[in-house]
């Protein structure tokens, strides 16, 4: 079983960041640099589901490198999920503001 080829960002190098396992022997894996998440059945040795972590728009930030502080800008950035944990057998959450993900 491989995690390559899942993400749009660097699909050949998934760089798994963090893993959490639920009571059904399913692992949720964060692929931080790829901005992706994968749910893997450890029993079947297959990817059950995978998806992009998406983007978020942040407002009220200084976006210019001009030696002035002007918090009037906005940025749209990848979420880049880091830590991940199962909340129940069907729901997990990640750090860095990624929305909770449903397994099934």
User: Residue 3 is inside which H or E element, if any?
Assistant: none
Evaluate whether residue 44 is within a structural domain: yes
| Residue 91 counted as domain residue | yes
Tell which residue, 38, 53, 43, has the closest CA to residue 5: 38
Write down the mean pLDDT value for the chain.
90
> Can you give the pTM of this predicted structure?
0.81
pLDDT reported for residue 100: 47
SS3 sequence of 12-75: CCCCCCEEEECCCCEEEEEEHHHCEEEEEECCCCEEEEEEECCEEEEEEECCCCCCCCCCCEEE
Question: Does residue 35 lie within any of the structural domains?
Answer: yes
pLDDT tens-digit series, residues 24-65:
999 999 999 999 999 999 999 999 999 999 998 989 989 999
Instruction: Flag whether 33 is in a domain.
Output: yes
pLDDT of residue 104: 44
Predicted confidence (pLDDT) per residue in 75-102, tens digit: 998 989 999 999 999 999 998 744 444 5
Q: Which residue range forms the structural domain that includes residue 45?
A: 18-102
What pLDDT score was predicted for residue 48?
Answer: 96
At 90 the three-state DSSP class reads coil
């Amino acid at each position: 079983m491989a995690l390559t080829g899942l993400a749009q960002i660097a699909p050949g190098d998934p760089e798994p960041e963090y893993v959490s396992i639920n009571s059904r022997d399913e692992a949720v894996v964060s692929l931080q640099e790829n901005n992706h998440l994968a749910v893997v059945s450890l029993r079947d040795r297959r990817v059950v589901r995978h998806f992009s972590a998406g983007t978020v728009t942040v407002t009220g930030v200084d976006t210019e490198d001009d030696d002035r502080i002007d918090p009037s800008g906005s940025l749209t950035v990848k979420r880049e999920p880091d830590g991940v944990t199962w909340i129940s057998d069907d729901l997990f959450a990640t750090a860095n503001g990624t929305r909770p993900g449903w397994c099934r």
